[in-house]
Amino acid sequence: MRNPIYSIDDARKRAGRRVPKLMFDYIDGAAGEESAAANNTQRYRDIRLLPRSFNDINQRDLSTSLMGHKYKLPFGIAPMGMCALSWHGADRLLAEAAVHREIPIGVSTAASASLEDMAQWANDNAWFQLYVGPSVDEAMKLVERAKTAGYKTLILTVDAQKVARRARDIRNGFQAPLKIGPRQFFDLALHPEWSLTTLIKGKPELANFSNDPNDASFTRTATRGLLDEEFLKRLRKAWPGQLVIKGICTVDNALHAVEHGADAVYLSNHGGRQLDSAVAPIDQLPHVRDALPSHIPIMIDSGVRSGDSIVKALAKGADFVFLGRPFLYAIGANGARGLDQVFDILEDEISTVMAQVGCASIAELDERIIFRD
């Protein structure tokens, strides 16, 4: 096979060649100088593990339980808007992968497939992710739609009060809905496979909303900040299922989330796409774990690029890990096959690292495998 994928970085590089720059930079880019995005991954690298021998590690079990469900792997697919920018049909590929791999997938408010379609394709693996835009009533309509579609878990994202300045997008003239001027046209012409597929099959759209340009119920750059106590009460009353609050980076916010009815806390700095100076969630994880009651699960994302990093997050107290960009790199690099390869790489890396640190199950991953100076 030409250009095989041996690592997430291979997938990223290959996607960078196959996907138009306008789209690739939207996926790959981050806020400001992109220092939070770089730091997120670096802080995983800075953690050193302790190789440990003499334990029976011949049979290793990567499954884990989370909020009453058993998942085959300890990681899932983070909610991402406009996944079809990586390639036409990406949302469905992700939904099917979630079913096949028996893991959860976050379905974004800004998804490029409707929440109803995603629920059909991913069944109980689909968790609906809510953004609260300028209108709380519109947000509550989405909540009702999610209920009707059969979702059991809702992720409320709280870290996008104000969408960040992302230099690459501004430079490239990225807009949603997409606007194609001469520069963008040239970029598309240089990537004919992506462009022809998209031309034939349809351009990426915000599938949860009408395509009427006058419909402002959700716009990418509008403030998403109406998350006061009254709203949290209203949401908790309206949503009978599990409520996960995503985008938490501080102990205070984690406690606030739980006090207001969150069943789980999801540590994230949005993959460095919001606050460029944001602390890496992995650095806050031990503090949040210490502060929260032990029955409250903690999920984490941002900067995870290997099975090794997944093991580190679990050992530092996370109950579950999510990844975002790696799955879009995979699809951009090589469609369904690329996605399969990236899942295989992550699974193999987790299993191998577990063997090397002397753990046969996810429950055994704890502070004992982390090097302390």
The residues carrying an active-site annotation are 270
Interface residue with ligand FMN among 8, 84, 97, 110 (CB under 6 A) is 110
Give how far the C-alpha of residue 265 lies from the chain's centroid of Cα atoms, to the nearest Å: 14
Residue 281 C-beta: closest distance to ligand FMN, Å: 9
Q: How far apart are CA 345 and CA 5, in angstroms?
A: 9
Interface residue with ligand FMN among 101, 325, 343, 357 (CB under 6 A) is 325
Residue 304 C-beta: closest distance to ligand FMN, Å: 5
Interface residue with ligand FMN among 153, 157, 172, 242 (CB under 6 A) is 157
By CB under 6 A, is residue 245 in contact with ligand FMN?
no
By CB under 6 A, is residue 224 in contact with ligand FMN?
no
Residue 110 C-beta: closest distance to ligand FMN, Å: 4
Interface residue with ligand FMN among 39, 114, 129, 242 (CB under 6 A) is 129
Nearest-CB residue for ligand FMN: 324
Contact 67, 371 (CB under 8 A): no
By CB under 6 A, is residue 153 in contact with ligand FMN?
no
Contact 205, 91 (CB under 8 A): no
DSSP string, 289-355: HHHS-TTS-EEE-SS--SHHHHHHHHHTT-SEEEE-HHHHHHHHHHHHHHHHHHHHHHHHHHHHHHH
Instruction: Find where tokens 């419909």 sit.
Output: 215
Write b or e for each residue in 50-74: b if 16 or more Cβ atoms lie within 10 A of its Cβ, otherwise e.
eeeeeeebeebebebebbeeebebb
Q: Which is nearer to ligand FMN, 24 or 121 (CB)?
A: 24
| Of 137-145, 201-209, 317-325, 334-342: span binding ligand FMN (CB under 6 A) | 317-325
Per the structure block, which two tokens stand in for 365?
């991953």
Interface residue with ligand FMN among 74, 133, 204, 271 (CB under 6 A) is 271
| Longest Cα separation, the chain | 66
Instruction: Quote the DSSP letter at residue 243.
Output: E
| Of 48-56, 161-169, 267-275, 350-358: span binding ligand FMN (CB under 6 A) | 267-275
Binders of ligand FMN among residues 159 to 218 (CB under 6 A) are none
Binders of ligand FMN among residues 277 to 306 (CB under 6 A) are 301-304
Residue 145 C-beta: closest distance to ligand FMN, Å: 16
By CB under 6 A, is residue 39 in contact with ligand FMN?
no
Per the structure block, which two tokens stand in for 327?
């799955």
Q: Residue 276, SS3? A: coil
Interface residue with ligand FMN among 78, 90, 164, 278 (CB under 6 A) is 78
Residue 271 C-beta: closest distance to ligand FMN, Å: 3
Residue 328 C-beta: closest distance to ligand FMN, Å: 6
| Of 73-81, 190-198, 226-234, 290-298: span binding ligand FMN (CB under 6 A) | 73-81
Residue 157 C-beta: closest distance to ligand FMN, Å: 4
By CB under 6 A, is residue 12 in contact with ligand FMN?
no
Q: How far apart are CA 81 and CA 246, in angstroms?
A: 15
Q: In terms of Cα–Cα distance, which of 317, 288, 289, 313 is closest to 303?
A: 313
- Helix axis angle, 90-101 to 325-356, nearest 10°: 20
Q: In terms of Cα–Cα distance, which of 195, 210, 209 is closest to 23?
A: 195
Residue 373 C-beta: closest distance to ligand FMN, Å: 27
| Of 89-97, 163-171, 321-329, 360-368: span binding ligand FMN (CB under 6 A) | 321-329
By CB under 6 A, is residue 321 in contact with ligand FMN?
no
By CB under 6 A, is residue 81 in contact with ligand FMN?
yes
Q: How far apart are CA 282 and CA 286, in angstroms?
A: 8
Residues engaged in binding ligand FMN (CB under 6 A): 27, 40, 78-81, 108, 110, 129, 157, 246, 268, 270-271, 273, 301-304, 323-325
